[in-house]
């Protein structure tokens, strides 16, 4: 080891300038880039949200239109149902009347059959009483025949009033 005093002086050397690159300011640049990215994201988000609102508005308009159409169809169906029920009630009333008339016709036919049986039994004898009974039976059958024809005509009228126009 050499003592410090024994050092030889170093000849004068020109100092060499060390060129260092200018110091970059990274933090402001990074902040600027980040701000621009955030701004772009916000603009994109706003554009998407606006598009979503427009789509939602269109969807709502379509749904409201579909609801109006559906309500109109439901109201039309209710009117048709009410009309059909009214027609059904009228048909039931007509059928009830027609069934009563048919029942009357059956009763008259039964009475006519009984009168015909009495007529055939009474037509065998020659006594005044038997002849009178026979004539009564014939008169009764004639009256029943007239009633029967009247009821059949009534049934025909009921049927014509019930059937649609052009059918009969």
Per-residue pLDDT at 53 exceeds 70: yes
- Provide the pLDDT for residue 119: 67
Residue with tokens 């772009």: 40
Lowest-confidence segment of 26-30, 76-80, 140-144 by average pLDDT: 26-30
- Provide the pLDDT for residue 18: 61
| pLDDT over 90 percentage in the chain | 15
- Provide the pLDDT for residue 30: 80
> Which ranges of 3-127 would DSSP assign to H, the alpha helix?
26-122
- Provide the pLDDT for residue 73: 95
Q: Could you give the CA distance from residue 137 to residue 132 in angstroms, rounded to a whole number? A: 9
CA angle 48, 50, 53 (to 5 degrees): 110
Q: What is the pLDDT of residues 13-42, one digit of tens each?
A: 666 656 665 556 667 778 888 888 898 888
Secondary structure element (H or E) that encloses residue 127, with its range? none
- Confirm if 96 and 142 have CB atoms less than 8 A apart: no
- pTM to 2 decimal places: 0.45
Q: What is the pLDDT of residues 144-160, one digit of tens each?
A: 888 888 888 888 887 88
Half-sphere exposure of 54 (CA within 13 A, CB side): 6
Per-residue pLDDT at 168 exceeds 60: no
Q: What is the pLDDT of residues 102-137, one digit of tens each?
A: 888 888 888 878 877 766 765 566 677 777 877 787
């Amino acid at each position: 080891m050499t003592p410090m005093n024994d050092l030889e002086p170093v000849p004068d050397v020109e100092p060499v300038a060390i060129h260092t690159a200018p110091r970059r300011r990274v933090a402001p640049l990074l902040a600027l880039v980040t701000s621009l990215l955030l701004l772009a994201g916000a603009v994109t988000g706003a554009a998407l949200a606006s598009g979503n609102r427009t789509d939602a508005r269109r969807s709502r308009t379509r749904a409201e239109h579909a609801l109006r159409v559906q309500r109109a169809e439901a109201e039309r169906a209710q009117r048709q149902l009410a009309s059909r029920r009214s027609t059904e009630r009228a048909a039931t009333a007509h059928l009830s009347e027609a069934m009563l008339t048919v029942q009357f016709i059956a009763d008259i036919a039964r009475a006519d059959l009984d009168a015909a049986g009495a007529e055939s039994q009474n037509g065998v004898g020659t006594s005044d009483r038997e002849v009178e009974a026979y004539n009564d039976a014939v008169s009764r059958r004639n009256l029943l025949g007239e009633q029967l024809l009247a009821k059949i005509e009534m049934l025909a009228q009921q049927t014509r009033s019930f059937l649609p126009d052009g059918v009969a």
